[in-house]
Structure 1
Amino acid sequence: MWEGEANVEFVEKDVREASLKPTEGRVKSLRPFAMQSLSRKGPVFADHNSIYSKEARPDDISFPSTRFYGSKRRQLTWLREEFKSLEGVTALDAFGGTGAVSHLLRDLGWETTYNDIFEFNIISARTLFSDSTHRLSEDTLLKFLNRVRPTEGFITATFEGLYFTTQENMWLDGFMACLPSELEKNRDLLLHCLFQACLKKRPFNLFHRANLNLRHSEMPVQFGNRSTWNKSFDTHILTTYREVQLAQTARAQSIQVTSGLCAGKIAPGFDLVYLDPPYFKRAKRNTETYLERYHFLEGLARYDEWPSLIDQNSSLRAIKRPYRLEWTNKQELLVNLQHMIKKHSGAKFALSYVADEEPTEEELFNLFRENFDRVRLSRRSFNRVLSKKRPFEILLIGQ
């Protein structure tokens, strides 16, 4: 399959349309791109027989549910199929996010290193890839929650009328006031559960707009539900705790978690580097950054510093710039990718992105062809929340 100086394999799979036939649908739209590539460099292998469709199904890899935009949790079965034939020992998940792919790589036997630029993700990763629920029992968690008393503090004074009700803001202040009295080894787990509770109580699970009015509106809900929004923080925290506990029951070897580095500053030495960078929408001049979407969680993660991080000119009380800005410029994404490939020369690379966005699929494909002898392009269609379109997720693997 990989014969020749520069080999490319195309695999396109649709998990939405069970009626799609091997010679119909999006194969036709992919063919001109394949032929154009063929004329520039080396032979192209287009595996049309393996282009099939199947119904979406629950993933068979145990990992706690998350409410983050762009999470790969629903794609783990597909990614497992793509990664299982790769050889090597050490793997880097450079934009770790929820940690779902790190979890998968560990499950496949890789000695995995998780990295992310944001503190709230680092805290969650330290929670998920440890024995945190063994150190903090459910009974101890409930006793902690019972000690929380609503109080007027920084959150109440700063975020009135934005993301949560006044009473909920006071409860958050009470939670954060109790946290320092808890053992340091238990704080990560408590914060991770709080992060997930905050997301569940938010319309759209984001903080890029206030949207508190949607919780009080009588209009039909198009995303999320009022029952979830109106459940207490305690209830959501307990649910998340139990999910983490279940995932840790079958935990294999641990995953190394960095201190939170810029991806470009991570030292080389890995056999596989997986990249899931921010996506940039082609139709928009500016795409909301992850910091804009989750600044509230980052504030909770850096609670003592939060007052000094606030942009006082922001109506949303977002974190001011510059703050850990990484890969936030669409014009620089290809340059950043090239830098990573050169820095980790000799490593296999896997890149997740979305088709029909910027940079284009063809630009990303050409970047891989210029840097690797063997390239595999796999595409699958997944329904995405907050989107009326059904875009193809793409996975490029270069060796």
Structure 2
Amino acid sequence: MLQHMNEINPNDQINMYPPTRFMGSKNKLLSSIWAATEDLHFNSVLDLFSGSGAVGYMYKCHGKAVACNDYMAMAATFSKAMIENNSVRLNEEAINKILSSGDNTDHFVADTFSGLYFSDEDNNLIDNIRHNISMLDDPYEKAIAMTALIRAIMKKRPRGIFTYTGNRYDDGRKDLRKSLEQLFREAAVAVNEAVFDNRKVNLSSWHDSLDLDLPHYDLIYMDPPYYTPKSDNEYVRRYHFVEGLARNWDGVEIQENTKTKKFKSYPTPFSTLSGAEEAFDHLFEKYKSSILVISYSSNSQPDKEQMLRILSKYKNNVRVTPVEHTYSFGTTKNVKRNNVQEYIFVGY
């Protein structure tokens, strides 16, 4: 049964959001982000770099009107399915229909990515599901089904990324032993269970953050790609296959000379220090009439002092909450951990 805002406990509902291995997800920091802002007066939130959607969903659970924006189509698909959507779910009949076989597929995945990431059987199933999703009329049903497909594919993929081919990073997870159909069914159920009505008008947006044009929101939350000389922040390089899936490879040119058949990463000012500084300055000025909240890692640049300097240009009151956090990457046999402090800047 679909729940309404006055029937839910926010913390219980937050836990209904399906977990993901999406790089940089703030799922483990949600309580800290809420604690850093709950004393402020605001009714609406714009999550400017929504990514996995976890933060936007958390604010939805606390009864705020939420707009989620991201430059990646897959992120916008997540937020359309579970944040903008207040009521639509996929019933079992629809799930069965999406999984039903047919002869009308374009065989794009099977032809383009043969032997790279999945078996021929799985590639054919992906093409079949793609086609059946395109036949759905309801935009929220489409978003739920595509979200379920993306999450199933990421669970079926060792490490959940597409920067390599083959299965050499098989870490023994149970999900890797499940069929893609089973993973899709499980993901569809999980997404369905995350849908609830917070009695607010919520929005999913797919735009570059610097070009976004929306009405006023009381609080702007920013979790941009972190710039650090020690690693790259190219989400598209890691997730090009599922990002291509979310946009049906429309408007992208696959680089046929690459082993992974990736497409060119989207341009972002956050790939250089000077670009990141300029982008922050621009965004802080643009949204200076709102409460500004920024999540940022201690191993990123601009550093803490530079961020405070830029933010203080536009806000008289600025506070910083440090949170101990560990980023992990690698396999279960060889996990590398990066112990950092996550800074939550609040300007008001």
Asked whether 1:311 is paired with 2:255, we answer yes
1:291 — aligned with what?
236
CA gap 1:152/1:106 in 2 versus in 1, 3 angstroms: closer
1:262 — aligned with what?
208
What is the rounded CA distance, in whole Å, between the counterparts of 1:296 and 1:109 in structure 2? 34
What is the rounded CA distance, in whole Å, between the counterparts of 1:96 and 1:363 in structure 2? 24
1:391 — aligned with what?
340
Asked whether 1:349 is paired with 2:281, we answer no
User: What is the TM-score normalised by the length of structure 1?
Assistant: 0.75
Distance apart, 1:131 and its partner CA: 4.8
- Which amino acid in 1 is paired with 2:275? E
- Which amino acid in 2 is paired with 1:319? F
Counterpart of 1:114 in 2: which secondary structure?
strand
> Would you say the 8 A contact 1:161–1:212 is kept in 2?
no
Asked whether 1:88 is paired with 2:25, we answer no
Distance apart, 1:202 and its partner CA: 1.4
1:1-399 matches, cutoff 5 A: 60=12, 61-62=14-15, 63-131=17-85, 134-147=88-101, 153-185=107-139, 186-215=141-170, 221=171, 225-249=172-196, 251-258=198-205, 260-267=206-213, 269-284=216-231, 287-303=232-248, 305=250, 309-320=253-264, 323=266, 325=268, 327-386=270-329, 387-399=336-348
CA offsets 1:70-112 (integer angstroms, 9 cap, x no match): 1111211111111111112332111011221112222333322
> Would you say the 8 A contact 2:84–2:204 is kept in 1?
no
2:5 — aligned with what?
none
Distance apart, 1:137 and its partner CA: 0.6
The alignment-based identity, stated in percent, is 24
What is the rounded CA distance, in whole Å, between the counterparts of 1:153 and 1:398 in structure 2? 50
> Would you say the 8 A contact 1:208–1:293 is kept in 2?
yes
What is the rounded CA distance, in whole Å, between the counterparts of 1:157 and 1:326 in structure 2? 34
CA offsets 1:288-343 (integer angstroms, 9 cap, x no match): 4011111111211122627x52112222111125x454533333111101001111
- Which amino acid in 1 is paired with 2:257? N
User: What is the TM-score normalised by the length of structure 2?
Assistant: 0.85
Farther off after superposition, 202-211 or 344-353: 202-211
Distance apart, 1:149 and its partner CA: 7.6
Aligned residues between the structures: 328
> Would you say the 8 A contact 1:129–1:254 is kept in 2?
no
CA gap 1:210/1:329 in 2 versus in 1, 3 angstroms: farther
Counterpart of 1:364 in 2: which secondary structure?
helix
Counterpart of 2:195 in 1: which secondary structure?
helix
> Would you say the 8 A contact 1:94–1:276 is kept in 2?
yes
CA gap 1:106/1:133 in 2 versus in 1, 3 angstroms: closer
> Would you say the 8 A contact 1:73–1:100 is kept in 2?
yes
What is the rounded CA distance, in whole Å, between the counterparts of 2:273 and 2:282 in structure 1? 15
> Would you say the 8 A contact 2:89–2:195 is kept in 1?
no
Q: Decide which structure has the larger Cα Rg and report it.
A: 1
Farther off after superposition, 126-135 or 136-145: 126-135
Farther off after superposition, 87-96 or 143-152: 143-152
> Would you say the 8 A contact 2:45–2:59 is kept in 1?
yes
Distance apart, 1:195 and its partner CA: 0.4
Counterpart of 1:213 in 2: which secondary structure?
coil
Counterpart of 1:309 in 2: which secondary structure?
coil
CA gap 1:348/1:324 in 2 versus in 1, 3 angstroms: same
2:7 — aligned with what?
none
Return 5+ residue gaps in structure 1 as ranges.
1-58, 216-220
RMSD, aligned α-carbons: 2.5
